[in-house]
Structures are given as C-alpha cells and as structure tokens.
Structure 1
Amino acid sequence: MAAAKIKKGDTVVVLSGKDKGKTGEVTQVLPKEGKLIVDGVNIITRHKKPTQVDPNGGLEKREAPLFASKVALVDPKDGKATRVRFETVDGKKVRVATRSGEKIDG
C-alpha cells in the first residue's frame, strides 16, 4: 500500500464537484475506501425520526466522505493546490509540496 499523501489535520482544497474551490481541514481519513471527510465540505442532509434520545427528530446536516482524488493539499507557502512528493531527510521520510519545495512534515 502506498504512503498517505493527505493526513488528518491537513488543509485541502476541493478540485471538482459541487464544492469546487472550497478549502477545509481533514477531520477523518478512510484509507480502505480511498475517501476522507473535510470540515465544512460536501454537506448532506439526513432526515431523523424522533427517538427517546432526540424526541424532536428533524433534519441533520453533516459532512459526507469525499474521494481523495478530488482534493489537493494546500501549499504552505502560497495557499494554492499542490501535489505531494516524498524525500528522505536525516533518515526520515517527509512530505514535500511539489509546487514550492516546502516541507509539510516537520
């Protein structure tokens, strides 16, 4: 399995779909499905029946998973979308923004 180019806590920009151009922080990564959940992006509405816990029920808005190929990491230098490559620095594998050459991990 390939190394994760996008991790939890990264800031990403959406490249395609109804939320194209929006940015947000990755809150959850689902590697087996190849998807991730981004804060404030791909909002869906679910109808909830009333229960004893929630007697009112109603509409619930939440983020749905998004394919990882639809997002790109935001470059730390200029704030635009960038690809990621890996380099070995002092014996450690670090992520590097292709656009600017800036290190993403420490």
Structure 2
Amino acid sequence: MNKIRKGDEVIVIAGRDKGKRGKVVLRSDEERLVVEGVNLVKKHAKPNPMKGITGGIIDKTMPIHQSNVAIYNPAAGKADRVGIKVLADGKKVRVFKSSGEEIKAA
C-alpha cells in the first residue's frame, strides 16, 4: 500500500523547493511522484506543427522522490507521517501518525 497517492496534498521537506505545497498529479514509478508547481525546470522544446506545438523554452514539472515530501495534515496545518491501520472488517486505511485520524481519499 502506497502511503502517498495521486490526489494527496503534500509538502516538500527537502531540496530547493522546501516548504512548497501541492497536489500529487501522478506517480511516475514506485518511488517518484509528480507534484504540481514543484521541481519546475526549463526545457527547450522543438516546434512540431503536426501536434500544434510551438518551439521555445517551456516550464516542465519533473518527478521528485517520495522521501522528499510528506503528506499535509490540514487539521494540524503542517506535515505529518502516514501510518496504516487495519479496521475490524480487515480493510486497511491510512491514518495520520500525530492524531490517528483517517486520511480522506481525494
């Protein structure tokens, strides 16, 4: 079970974008994820008239390692760790470590 999923609001805890918040757009692989507005780089794009792409320098969001982000707890207003709790019916749910309350699916 992934502790950070697509749609979660996360806060960056390490790197040049430390302190920024954003939603997880996608998980690029098992340990990297793309967060909107975080880890922006400038890429040189060639024009492609078949796809309607104009050339130039564009801002692109690159993946960031999941160890450099923490899930954002809106009740506490800061980063939090994620734990996994097994309910009575056998279902596993994600919970905030500080409060023990369940993380709502986005």
* TM more than 0.5: yes
- What's the CA shift for 1:79? 2.2
Q: 1:58 aligns with which of 56, 59, 70?
A: 56
For normalisation by structure 2, the TM-score amounts to 0.88
| Contact map agreement 1:42 1:64 (CA 8 A) in 2 | yes
Instruction: Show structure 1 runs of 4+ deviating over 4 A.
Output: none
| Contact map agreement 1:75 1:99 (CA 8 A) in 2 | no
- What's the CA shift for 1:62? 1.4
Unaligned runs of at least 5 residues, structure 1: none
For normalisation by structure 1, the TM-score amounts to 0.88
| Contact map agreement 1:82 1:97 (CA 8 A) in 2 | yes
Answer yes or no: is 1:4 the counterpart of 2:2. yes
Q: 1:19 aligns with which of 12, 17, 20?
A: 17
Q: How far, CA to CA, are the matches of 1:28 and 1:92 in structure 2? A: 24
Amino acid in structure 1 at the alignment position of 2:55 = G
Could you say which residue in structure 2 is the equivalent of 1:49? Answer: 46
Percent of paired sites with the same residue: 44
SS of 1:47's partner is strand
Could you say which residue in structure 2 is the equivalent of 1:68? Answer: 66
Unaligned runs of at least 5 residues, structure 2: none
Q: How far, CA to CA, are the matches of 1:55 and 1:102 in structure 2? A: 46
Aligned residue pairs, count:
103
Amino acid in structure 1 at the alignment position of 2:74 = P
